[in-house]
Structure 1
Amino acid sequence: METSRRDFLRKTGLGVLAASPLSVYARTPDELLSIEQQAQRTPPQAFNMCGYAAPKLDVVRVGIIGIGNRGMGAVERLNKLEGVEIRALCDLRAERVNLAKQKVAASGHKPETYSGTTEIWKKLADRTDLDLVYILTPWAYHTPMAVFAMNHGKHVCVEVPAAKTLEECWQLVETSERTKKHCMMVENCCYDFTELLTLNLARNGFFGEIVHCEGGYIHNLQELAFSKNHFYQLWELDEMAKRKGNLYPTHGLGPICQVLNINRGDQMDYLVSMSTNDFVLGALAKELAAKDDFYKPYVGKPFNGNMNNSTIRTKKGKTILVQYDVSSPRPYSRLQLVSGTKGVVLKYPEPARYSTGHEWMTESEYKALETKYMPPILTKMGEIAKKVGGHGGMDFLMDWRTIDCLRNGLPLDQDVYDAALWSSVGPLSAWSIAHRSNSIDVPDFTRGAWLKNQPVDISMTKGGTTGAKV
């Protein structure tokens, strides 16, 4: 299995990229300096993709790359949407694409399947009968596949994070601008019901001037990370063994950026980051290796620290705290806090709590608030999304909304600047940690366009015509 991964990296050029001076895995001072230089880049903007509406698509013809844990879920969700044709499926493992093909056959989909070699995905992305390529692979393949697909005339949906290096972030941005193809990072947490209500409240002035926000990803993945069956070829454990910092920032960060109008009225300015040592993963690897030789290669690895805290200041003087911990025995949390001059919301532990004073609202007060400010997208699709499922329905709501925007010629809720900016926290946090938590400038991927870009609107004031087969 390890040989097939190395072969893939070599053939696609990813192995060269991972060893380049621009890599976030860099450890020498000169290599780390190059990350700082990447943060200062300001190439000219070829075309502003914020607010861009591509031509309408009566039917969205989709190819899916990566039929693993997330990929199979995407197949099942897209299978329930009207106006979608699943035309191609790809995974290294033939059994996965065959299983996915069986799942969609009853709905009339007859996808071509691609499997067996490390470059077979290029044949899918090169097809002339696809409008959208949906990428759900391990992180290292996200940017190369997305860039290739856009260069071959396809819109792209790509799992989180969209990029691992600043160089990759810029590749996504410059390719999307040049090709005028959407590159949406499918950050499902932006479609969480509480986060959508919070965004609508922010748009209606409930919080006043928003001052500080917190988000994160606290999820105990000890068992899954070391599982021989969950993450194919233990790819996520490998990420934890070779990278430092906030490796997975977008779940907590995405909804916050939308609330703060980041890239659309405000912009990140600089970041500082600090991590603990690893007190869990190394010990667990040693314990498992004593019972199973399979885990011996992980003994002595310099695993990422257990808790990372990254703090961001915006151009308008707002602050954001983003936390990341996937190895401590803690209950799940995305640490959603929005604090303004007039109100506050805090989610986790659930249910979410709202306040405009010294006390949290009572249940009846919250219900009245929810009724008054319920976003139309939840009124129309909320119950349907819950029935379909996927993290409580937010996965389906995200896919429904994306397909509906493509079919109605509407801008997507998340554009390539969001994909690049939210993902950039990973390599920027690595730089800051390596420099004793000094600050580093955050690149402006919009190149000043954030001053005039309009805030994102997920209220479904337009569109809403796509049906669901539930």
Structure 2
Amino acid sequence: MKRRSFLSSGAALGTLASLTAGGLSRPALAAGRDRLRLGLIGTGMRGQVLLRELLRREDVEVVALCDIEPIMLGRALAMTEKADKPRPQSYGQSGDKLAYRKLLEQKGLDGVIIATPWELHAPMAIDAMNAKVAVGCEVVAGITLQDHWDVLRTQQRSGTPYMLLENVCYRRDVMAVLQMVRAGLFGELVHLQGGYQHDLRAVKFNSGDPSKPYGGGVEIGDKAWSEARWRTEHSVQRNGELYPSHGIGPCAMFTNIHRGNRFTHINAFASKARGLQDYVGRKMSAKDHPNAKLKYKLGDVVTTTLACENGETILLQHDTSLPRPYSLGFRVQGTDGLWMDLNHSVHIEGLSKPHEWEDFKRYQDKFDHPLWKKYASAAEGAGHGGMDYFVIHAFVEALKAEAPMPIDVYDAVAWSAITPLSEQSIAEGFKTLPFPDFTEGLWKSRKPIFAFGDKY
């Protein structure tokens, strides 16, 4: 079918919607459960955003909360009370760092959301899967490469469902572009880009006041609050693509990674590190503060390139220590055109004027994903422009239906393993490394189920 004919054919678009919504090779939905009993480990700023989405649902009962920070745990309990929901059992008030294991022992627990600092994700997910409690894990599946193999092996051995809660895969324009990719509007894909380009200086430092978790000071570690308490240390100690899944997630689903395609090689480069030290010493006028003397391993701009089995290249950029507006820098380019999110534009050969951009809105409206058409009103007010509604919705609906997780353990470990592999590449003089095949050959026969279902 010619692309011009496709754009003008409502019937064809309906057919595409049924294909992408109906589940390519996805099993028929099981009878499943109508209601879930879920726990939440980590009730900080991110945990509270996810809790809000859980409390909005009539098919979820939040039965357990865990956090070792009493202030945040108290805020989460207050949220459940304000929502007029039963008071969950709470764990961690004593400061016991292993209190989450008591939560996992709670009878009748169907699943758990993990929203803790990155370094805790792997051990907590492993303990949950061993306890036969389904896992919805915030992004970053592990720290070391071994962490990722351990998460994978635990899921394979236990059979417990695991989903990485990557919300950008549910961004409205990203899902419309997925429709366009599936329809062949871009032709054969050749090159993609994405990343995490976000000024986090006021996230990595604050005053230590729990009522002001972002900015206002230059404290980190024990004297700080929220992410500055733990996240900044990663910038001090590590140099690599520290937060890959926002960028790689959509690029991986566009290119059918693990479903007929895979990553084969990776390399990474890092710039010098100047932004955080400059922020503390000059821009915050704190040159006499002890943190002004800190040295950071994390380059201000880290550029990572991946090669794919089917010949595509993917470029990621991590840029969080310099002043800049927020952007994930998406680009999807093929033999018939390209889309770029930064200028909200698209160019399709034969449809667009030669050498000119078109505004993406017309395509967004035409290819708006069935999930967004169905649930846009329900997602209003949800975090990150509605994306948080959809990622929680996906986890809940898949778990209820006893269906495969749309972002499964293979996706989780491969997307997240980009971090330790990029660190290794940089440390070894920007060396190109082979990318592990976490599927151990299954990528050849697995079908593209990440086309999203009617329900999730």
TM over 0.5: yes
1:181-237 deviations in Å (ceiling 9; x for gaps):
121111110000011111111111111111110001100111221113343562111
CA distance in 1 between partners of 2:444 and 2:453 (Å): 24
Partner residue of 2:395?
402
Partner residue of 2:10?
none
CA distance in 2 between partners of 1:308 and 1:55 (Å): 46
| More moved, 398-407 vs 257-266 | 398-407
Does residue 390 of the first structure (1) align with residue 366 of the second (2)? no
TM-score (norm 2): 0.85
Maintained 8 Å contact 1:245/1:275: yes
What residue ranges of structure 2 are gaps of 5+ in the alignment? 1-24, 215-225
**Alpha-carbon offset, residue 55 of structure 1:** 7.5
Does residue 96 of the first structure (1) align with residue 61 of the second (2)? no
Identity, % of aligned pairs?
A: 33
CA distance in 2 between partners of 1:318 and 1:213 (Å): 8
SS at match of 1:272: strand
Maintained 8 Å contact 1:130/1:154: yes
Maintained 8 Å contact 1:258/1:456: no
**Alpha-carbon offset, residue 302 of structure 1:** 3.2
Partner residue of 1:15?
none
Partner residue of 2:3?
none
1:112-127 mapped onto 2 (5 Å cutoff): 112-115=89-92, 116-117=94-95, 118-127=97-106
Maintained 8 Å contact 1:285/1:296: no
Partner residue of 1:267?
262
Q: Would the alpha carbon gap of residues 199 and 290 (structure 1) be closer, same or farther in structure 2, given more than 3 Å must change?
A: closer
Q: Would the alpha carbon gap of residues 146 and 298 (structure 1) be closer, same or farther in structure 2, given more than 3 Å must change?
A: farther
| More moved, 183-192 vs 111-120 | 111-120
Maintained 8 Å contact 1:268/1:315: yes
TM-score (norm 1): 0.82
Q: Would the alpha carbon gap of residues 139 and 55 (structure 1) be closer, same or farther in structure 2, given more than 3 Å must change?
A: farther
SS at match of 1:388: coil
What residue ranges of structure 1 are gaps of 5+ in the alignment? 1-49, 465-470
How many residue pairs were aligned?
409
Partner residue of 1:256?
251
Tell me which of 123, 143, 166 is aligned to 1:144: 123
SS at match of 1:454: coil
Partner residue of 2:9?
none
Partner residue of 2:4?
none
**Alpha-carbon offset, residue 367 of structure 1:** 4.7
CA distance in 1 between partners of 2:149 and 2:30 (Å): 21
**Alpha-carbon offset, residue 383 of structure 1:** 2.8
CA distance in 2 between partners of 1:452 and 1:189 (Å): 26
CA distance in 1 between partners of 2:432 and 2:425 (Å): 6
Does residue 325 of the first structure (1) align with residue 319 of the second (2)? yes
Does residue 425 of the first structure (1) align with residue 414 of the second (2)? no
Does residue 374 of the first structure (1) align with residue 368 of the second (2)? yes
**Alpha-carbon offset, residue 291 of structure 1:** 4.0
Partner residue of 1:130?
109
Partner residue of 1:412?
405
CA distance in 2 between partners of 1:432 and 1:278 (Å): 17
CA distance in 1 between partners of 2:30 and 2:287 (Å): 53
Does residue 309 of the first structure (1) align with residue 289 of the second (2)? no
Q: Would the alpha carbon gap of residues 297 and 291 (structure 1) be closer, same or farther in structure 2, given more than 3 Å must change?
A: closer
What is the RMSD of the two structures over their aligned residues, measured on CA atoms? Answer: 2.2
**Alpha-carbon offset, residue 371 of structure 1:** 3.7
Maintained 8 Å contact 1:220/1:329: yes
Partner residue of 2:330?
336
Does residue 436 of the first structure (1) align with residue 412 of the second (2)? no
Amino acid at match of 1:65: I
Does residue 220 of the first structure (1) align with residue 199 of the second (2)? yes
Amino acid at match of 1:267: R
Maintained 8 Å contact 2:305/2:315: yes
Q: Would the alpha carbon gap of residues 394 and 289 (structure 1) be closer, same or farther in structure 2, given more than 3 Å must change?
A: closer
1:248-286 deviations in Å (ceiling 9; x for gaps):
111011000000000111000001100001012233344
Tell me which of 173, 176, 195 is aligned to 1:194: 173
Partner residue of 1:36?
none
Q: Would the alpha carbon gap of residues 284 and 367 (structure 1) be closer, same or farther in structure 2, given more than 3 Å must change?
A: closer
Maintained 8 Å contact 2:55/2:85: no
CA distance in 1 between partners of 2:366 and 2:324 (Å): 35
Partner residue of 2:49?
73
SS at match of 2:230: helix
Q: Would the alpha carbon gap of residues 114 and 298 (structure 1) be closer, same or farther in structure 2, given more than 3 Å must change?
A: farther
